[in-house]
Structure 1
Amino acid sequence: MRTREAILYAAAEVFDECGYSGASISKIMKRVGVTQGGMYFHFKSKELLAHAVMASQQDFVQLPSGEDGLQRLIDMTFHLASELKNNVLFRASVRLAVEQGELGNRDDTAYQEWVEQFHTQLLAAQRGGEVRADVDVQEFATVLVGAYTGTQIFSNAATHREDLPQRVSALWRYFLPALTDPQTRQGLRVEPGVRTAAA
């Protein structure tokens, strides 16, 4: 298991640096220091290794604790922004999910898992009276994942995600008026510095 985890971590580093097309089994073997036999015992191909990294996306992140609801949802999005900058395993899995066409793959599992995570927080917020009655929380969770994905891709292209917390803050400033009432909004914190530090 330790060898498998070491291979997975090394593969994530190489996929993060080179993308799927630029990565190779030989680069990953060299990075982790295993023999060809040791590599193929755990992963028979680069494609299977990429799938393993991509499928482990949520395993690579420990989400911040807190009471379920809108504030925790906001905290989660800032925490993910920090993880995209600092956690190579998570960053590689996200890159592979975005670039999965290179694997000849169309799999939205990673995105759907985040929809479910966000939906859980929105349901709690709805039960607590934080969400407007006319909001479809399942639909909003899907929209949020799509908007967040586009935001982090844009930020990566522009600044290597250095400005991602500020972009996430802007996302919430425009989304919250459609989601909740002014009184609830006043009690929510969406400043990137405060949220990143708390996470």
Structure 2
Amino acid sequence: MAKQERAIRTRRAILEAAGAVFDEHGYTSTTIAMVLDRAEVTKGALYFHFPSKESLAQAVLDEQVPFGSIPPQACKLQEIVDITFVVGRRLLSNALLRGSVRLAVDQCAPPGVDHTGPFRQWAEHLTPLMEQAQAQGELLPTVDPRDTVELLIGSFTGIQLMSRALTERDDLGHRLSVLWSHMLPSIAVPGLLLGLDSRADRGARVLDSLNTRVAS
């Protein structure tokens, strides 16, 4: 059991180090030596978990969606809003998530690294929530859940890239608030709009609530 726990910790340390290095340097410029130096593990330990740079990059990519996890909410549209703000907030401090996001849009990664994974996984995660919102009468009758989710994913991707380039994502909360202020009136029933919270600090408040819940 202790050996298994050490292996889990080592794998996580490698992933977090790789995420930081991929975020800082991109796929092409990142080397295994950089990751080893950052993770402070042996080459053997790294190759035990990840046999190649490509497999390491893929593992980093596959870590993205869980960072949007939040407790279920009665209002599914608010839950979707909150997921975007939580991911945006975590991008400020989580190197593994930042590395995953950079790899998802890095066109220099080889064909063996599946860039489509995070986009497909996000769509598979969010579409059922949007369908639940539709079933609960939260959406306008013209809304197609899958199309709306894919528009949201594409918009979030572009907005976070712009925010990273201009302010190192310091203004990402504001930019997400602006996105939702335009998007919500086009998908939500009018009676729901006043009750939805898409203020710029929403991510910080949701995470504070999560941390308080865990601490108690």
TM-score, structure 1 normalization: 0.91
The equivalent of 2:59 in structure 1 is: 52
- Report deviation, 1:21: 1.8
Q: CA distance change for structure 1 residues 57 and 100 in 2, over 3 Å: closer, same or farther?
A: farther
- Report deviation, 1:4: 2.1
- Deviation readout 1:61-98 (Å, 9 max, x if unpaired): 15221315111111111111101111111111111111
The equivalent of 1:145 in structure 2 is: 153
Identical counterparts, % of pairs: 38
- Report deviation, 1:9: 1.7
Which runs of 5 or more structure 1 residues have no equivalent in the other structure? Answer: none
Of stretches 127-136 and 66-75 in structure 1, the one that deviates more from structure 2 is 66-75
- Report deviation, 1:155: 0.8
Q: CA distance change for structure 1 residues 32 and 195 in 2, over 3 Å: closer, same or farther?
A: closer
Q: Determine if contact 1:115/1:142 at 8 Å carries over to the other structure.
A: yes
Summarize the alignment of residues 51-70 of structure 1 with structure 2, pairs less than 5 Å apart. Answer: 51-59=58-66, 61=67, 63-68=69-74, 69-70=76-77
The equivalent of 2:48 in structure 1 is: 41
CA RMSD of aligned residues (A): 1.7
Summarize the alignment of residues 1-199 of structure 1 with structure 2, pairs less than 5 Å apart. Answer: 1=7, 2-59=9-66, 61=67, 63-68=69-74, 69-104=76-111, 105=113, 107-199=115-207
- Deviation readout 1:81-140 (Å, 9 max, x if unpaired): 101111111111111111144323453121111112221221121111110111111111
Q: Determine if contact 2:88/2:203 at 8 Å carries over to the other structure.
A: no
Q: Determine if contact 1:189/1:195 at 8 Å carries over to the other structure.
A: no
Distance 1:144 1:108 in 2: 16
Q: Determine if contact 1:116/1:141 at 8 Å carries over to the other structure.
A: no
- Deviation readout 1:133-157 (Å, 9 max, x if unpaired): 1111111111111111111111111
Given residue 116 of structure 2, which amino acid in structure 1 is its aligned partner? D
TM-score, structure 2 normalization: 0.85
- Report deviation, 1:17: 1.8
Of stretches 148-157 and 97-106 in structure 1, the one that deviates more from structure 2 is 97-106
Q: CA distance change for structure 1 residues 106 and 54 in 2, over 3 Å: closer, same or farther?
A: closer
Distance 2:148 2:180 in 1: 12
Q: CA distance change for structure 1 residues 194 and 108 in 2, over 3 Å: closer, same or farther?
A: closer
Which runs of 5 or more structure 2 residues have no equivalent in the other structure? Answer: 1-6, 208-216
Distance 2:87 2:203 in 1: 11
Q: Determine if contact 1:100/1:106 at 8 Å carries over to the other structure.
A: no
Given residue 167 of structure 2, which amino acid in structure 1 is its aligned partner? T
